[in-house]
């Protein structure tokens, strides 16, 4: 069971939206470039393909940014899962200090008991 199913769903939606933005932008840009041959029957010059190229570039940038944000959400969920997984076997410093002190006490008592058996 995942701990953050909503965040995973949002990440998937962002990735899909990024692909859609990219695809629609490229298609609209190509249509704009190919249809820019004449305006009201007047032939246009080659500079009219610039808006189509700009549309394609902007859709590439925004599509990739939206897709990358979805991947970033997945990365954050993975980091959380790995952190939680690695933290289960870690003992906090205060508990470790207590364990070390108890071991010292046991060793001290054990040495006293050994002395008593040797002397007695």
Query: For 61-84, how does the pLDDT look when each residue is reduced to its tens digit (9 = 90+)?
Result: 999 999 999 999 999 988 888 887
Task: Specify the number of domains making up the chain.
Answer: 2
Confidence of residue 33 (pLDDT cuts 50, 70, 90): confident
| Domain match, 111 and 59 both | no
- The pTM for the full model equals 0.62
* 20/54 same-domain check: yes
21/33 Cα distance (integer angstroms): 18
Higher-pLDDT residue of 111 and 67 is 67
CB-based contact 10:73 (threshold 8 Å): yes
The reply to whether 78 and 98 lie within a common domain is no
β-strand pairing of 38-39 with 42-43: antiparallel
How far apart are the C-alpha atoms of 119 and 13, rounded to whole Å? 78
The DSSP bridge partners found for residue 43 are 38
Question: From CA 97, how far away is CA 111, in angstroms rounded?
Answer: 21
Over residues 28-45, mean pLDDT? 70
C-alpha span between 19 and 29 (Å, rounded): 15
For the chain, the average pLDDT equals: 83
- Regarding whether 64 and 19 lie in a shared domain, the answer is yes
Query: Which one is predicted more confidently, 1 or 71?
Result: 71
Residue 99 lies in domain: 91-120
Is residue 108 domain-shared with residue 52, that is, in the same domain? no
Same domain, 10 and 41: yes
């Amino acid at each position: 069971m995942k701990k953050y199913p909503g965040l995973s769903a949002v990440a998937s939606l962002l990735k899909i939206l990024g692909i859609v933005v990219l695809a629609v932008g490229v298609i609209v840009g190509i249509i704009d470039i190919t249809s820019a041959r004449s305006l009201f029957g007047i032939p246009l010059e080659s500079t009219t393909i610039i808006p189509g190229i700009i549309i394609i570039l902007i859709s590439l940038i925004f599509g990739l940014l939206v897709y990358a944000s979805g991947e970033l959400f997945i990365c954050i969920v993975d980091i959380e899962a790995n952190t939680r997984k690695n933290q289960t076997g870690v003992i906090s410093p205060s508990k470790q200090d207590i364990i070390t002190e108890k071991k010292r006490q046991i060793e001290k008592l054990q040495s006293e008991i050994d002395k008593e058996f040797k002397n007695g």
